[in-house]
Amino acid sequence: MAQHTWERVGGEVDEFALDLEFDGTGHNGPRCTVCELSFCLHCARDGWTIPCPGPAPDGDEWDWTGDGNGRPPREPGLWSTV
């Protein structure tokens, strides 16, 4: 599998491409422009190690929710678990 292609701002990885308020806590992190994985830099520090699977088949979205249901996530790439 390939390396992620992270969204960038001014040449640097955009660490606020994911910017959510969830359960009263702010979550921010990068987002891949190819597979749409995003992860919170504070909650999932190992997110950088997840390989990029490439584009989802048939124009669908990868299920990054971690529940294994195979459906597109409710919010693409919300967490880093697969």
Domains of the chain, residue spans = 1-82
Strand ranges in the chain using DSSP code E only, listed in sequence order: 8-9, 12-13, 18-22, 25-29
Q: What percent of the chain has pLDDT over 90?
A: 26
pTM: 0.71
Give the model confidence (pLDDT) of 2-24 as tens digits. Answer: 889 999 999 999 999 988 886 77
Question: CA 2 to CA 42: how far, in whole Å?
Answer: 24
Q: Other C-beta atoms within 10 Å of 30: how many?
A: 23
